[in-house]
Amino acid sequence: METAKRKRLEAKGWKVGDAAEWLKLAPEEAAYIELKLSLCRALRERRIRKKLTQQDIARILGSSQSRVAKMEAGDPSVTLDLLVRSLLALGSPKKKLEHALLQV
């Protein structure tokens, strides 16, 4: 958020912060969520870069299109393990995954 907008909101009595602060998440909880979202974005970007549909990915993974949609959306039922295995199945280099993990 731009500084001027933040100051205007605070001047009108609004408290400005992030989701981790609002939800009172511990640093490790916030890091876990950021990691999961990073992997979800990577999966979607990999799919788009390879010009595949969610249905195509589902076929590759032996899953369903709705499951792939949940994976890309960061649904709570999706595990980190599933996201990592899926990215590897789509040919993501291990170095790229390591980079994503280190950015959190």
The model's pTM is: 0.76
**Packed helices 54-61 and 65-73: angle between N→C axes, nearest 10 degrees:** 110
Cα atoms in the Cβ-side hemisphere of radius 13 Å centred on 101: 11
Return the pLDDT at 103: 67
Give residue-wise pLDDT tens across range 22-55. 888 899 999 889 889 989 999 999 999 999 999 9
Sign of the Cα pseudo-torsion (48, 67, 79, 24, in order): positive
For 44, the token pair is 């979607």
Return the pLDDT at 93: 86
Class for the domain spanning 18-102: mainly alpha
Domain spans in the chain, listed from the N-terminal domain onward? 18-102
